[in-house]
Amino acid sequence: MQLPPEIVQFIEDRAERIPSGELRQACAALSAHYRGRGSTAGLRLRPEAAAAAYLLMRFPATYAAAHAALAELKVRLGGVEPASSLDLGAGPGAASLAALAVFPQLTQCTLIERLETMREAARELLTGARFLAGDLNSWDNYPEQDLVIAAYALGELPERSRQAVLIRAWRAARVALVVIEPGSPAGFSVVRQAREWLLEAGAHLAAPCPAEGACPMPAGDWCHFAARLERTSLLRRMKAAMLSYEDEKFSYVAACRRDVPRAPARIVRRPEHAPGLVQLVLCDGACIRRELVTRRASLYKPARKSAWGDSWPPEYKPSGSLRT
């Protein structure tokens, strides 16, 4: 995944406005924060420096994760295209931009974000979008839209207010709601709890889950996926990173108003390849199990091409081409 060049340019322009020492410090503080836990509100940084560091260090990754989760939702929606979206705790708008890239018929984006510096950056990236300032906790109802997204936002809220925000988000979603969190044990526990609350509220699960029963992920393990993105040269310098790419680990759940065809099973680890053999770790909705696909199996070729996060067995698009 590559960020559109105009977004890369925007991020680099914003970074250039901050003295390099201050930017480096802000990036280091942000990295330390994301390796730990807690709200970004706890960071003591000049707001402009914090926003520039977020754009540089996190925006490409959250864009990639949102793009991957929304692309899977699109498959499940089977031709139903949202025309409007609501992005909760939108930051500089990565999830809304990913939604615009995935759903070409999306024309009305609404974003709720409490920090002015974040809204100001998002305003430049999303011309024509509607911005609502304020705290997610202060609304009785969010404006109804086809698609509602809470990307890396629910986990930032105090635990006591998460359920109320999630239920308001679900009430606002005419077609679907997507919750995305970091692909860590803590992020997954927020997603798993959201999944339970959504099922209690009568939602149908679209992805990644193959079924709507209790989540079979055992204690100590967590359901997560990876979105690979290219690092810009500035990002490599700020992270002192050698690799030209990074894998953003994320957990997510996509819920719909109507029931949709789900994946028969989901590949929940990177497939392991050995000569003549592919080992898949699958969630089939009832349990997490290993499947060995040998050279002689009819699904060997698709297994070799399969990737972490894909459905299994591969499904067929109406055109007849394989989707793995």
Residues that bind ligand SAM (CB under 6 A): 40, 58-59, 62, 89-91, 94-95, 112-115, 118, 135-137, 151-153, 156-157
Nearer to ligand SAM, 122 or 278 (CB): 122
CA atoms within 13 A on the CB side of 32: 9
The least CB distance from residue 231 to ligand SAM, in Å, is 17
Closest to ligand SAM by CB, 117 vs 311, is 117
Whole-number Å distance between alpha carbons of 115 and 91: 8
Q: Which residue, 171 or 301, is less far from ligand SAM as judged by CB? A: 171
Question: Rounded to an integer, what distance in angstroms lies between the CA atom of residue 324 and that of residue 301?
Answer: 11
Taking the complex as a whole, the smallest distance from the CB of residue 221 to ligand SAM amounts, in Å, to 24
User: At residue 90, what is the residue type?
Assistant: A
* Residue keyed to tokens 């959504």: 198
CB of 139 to ligand SAM, least distance (A): 9
Min dist. Cβ of residue 68 to ligand SAM (A): 12
C-alpha triplet 263, 316, 79: angle, nearest 5°: 75
Q: How far is the CB of 115 from ligand SAM (least distance, A)?
A: 4
- In angstroms, the CA 166 to CA 261 distance is 24
N- to C-terminal Cα separation, the chain? 17
Whichever of 40 and 306 has its CB closer to ligand SAM, that residue is 40
Q: Within the chain, how many helices (H) and strands (E) appear?
A: 10, 15
Q: Select the residue whose beta carbon is closest to ligand SAM and give its number.
A: 91
Q: Select 105 or 137, whichever has its Cβ closest to ligand SAM.
A: 137
**Residue 142 CB, nearest approach to ligand SAM (Å):** 11
Residue 297 burial (C-beta neighbours within 10 Å; 0-12, 13-18, 19+): middle
DSSP secondary structure code for residue 293 in this structure: E
Coil/strand/helix, residue 195: helix
Specify the residue, 69 or 223, whose C-beta has the smaller distance to ligand SAM: 69
**Which region holds residue 128: left if phi is over 0, alpha if psi is between -120 and 50, else beta?**
left
